Structure 1
Amino acid sequence: MNPRWLTWARALQAIAQNGLTYARDPFDVERYQAVREVAAEMFAYHTGEPVERLRALFEQEVGHATPKLDVRGVVFQEGRVLLVRERSDGGWTLPGGWVDIHESPRAAVEREVREESGYETRAVKLLALYDRDRHGHPPHPFHIYKLFFRCEIVGGAPASSVETDGVGFFSLERLPPLSLSRVTAAQLERFFQHEQHPDWPTDFD
């Protein structure tokens, strides 16, 4: 469960973003900007992040507020799963990232796996669609849905990227330190179970 402050701060940010999207009165615009500032200060107070960074992050969000989409590729080879090491925090994760505008989820996950690991893959099944808030990840400013796709290697070779500096296959018993903002051990265990039971349906919240 999210801490209460995170639920409140996100709600304030969404109210501000939606208000700024539809408001026409200049006084209403000022009020919604003030609400957005309160949300940024709440996040900064509870996370230690600079308020300037959070303010800039929120100012980039325009239009009606909706959850963001994060895709992850689940690639197995000889009973081990493909993980990449994030330069940002040194933790390991399934390759993936945000879905871009005008990009299908399948195209997004295949692109992310290629960019972060060097492998060309084909997405063959949606294993899980999770609400990030329900799966033990650390707090994040935005509400996120995570889509995990089973992918098969069709080419390429391991390679680092601007975001990753390690590529490897790991067994469930010998997982490296994980980037918990992106993937958890419980999620990986579930996907190993899916690998043993390919007829299982998609998990979803």
Structure 2
Amino acid sequence: MGHFQLTVRLWPALKQANGARVVCLSSRGHFFSGVDFEDPFFQRRAYDKWAAYGQSKTANILFAVGLDARGEAHRIRAFAVHPGGILTELVRSMSEEEVRASIENANKLEPMKTPEQGAATTGWCATSPQLENRGGVYCENVDIAVMAPPDATIRRGVKDQAVDPKQADRLWTASETWTGVRFNP
């Protein structure tokens, strides 16, 4: 909800920029879960930290899709980014065993990145002329990600549920309700 609230409140400044870009941090963690609109806050189901993480990362992608659809006419484009596997403070809430397993799984796809390497795709989305007149896409490794096959066993690319415009609109409406913040284009 943070991406949503901040961006809606900055909307007047983004419009004045006459060509702004909003970059939302997501991750391959979106493969863990879609957004459960029936129980988004785990009130009727058992809390699962990986489902919650996946749901939040899927929501960040959907937010970028929804924002881009609303911002394109105002020259405001939005992107979602997977920075790569990076050891951050997120590991403070994980056991040593979970950290080791996460590193092993990440290294199967590509080597872990430094924070500086991880920032490359974010910087690219914010500034690259290659993305002029583009938006609403999920990026990884300084490129627009491919669509992941529905039966993908390796987490590469982006799942179709994370870039579905109907799901993005549903999340947008729910975000206004959940936060009490209204978007006025």
Larger Rg, first or second structure (1 or 2): 1
Q: So what's the TM-score if we normalise by structure 2?
A: 0.22
Structure of greater relative contact order (alpha carbons < 8 Å, 6+ residues apart): 2
Greater fraction strand: 1
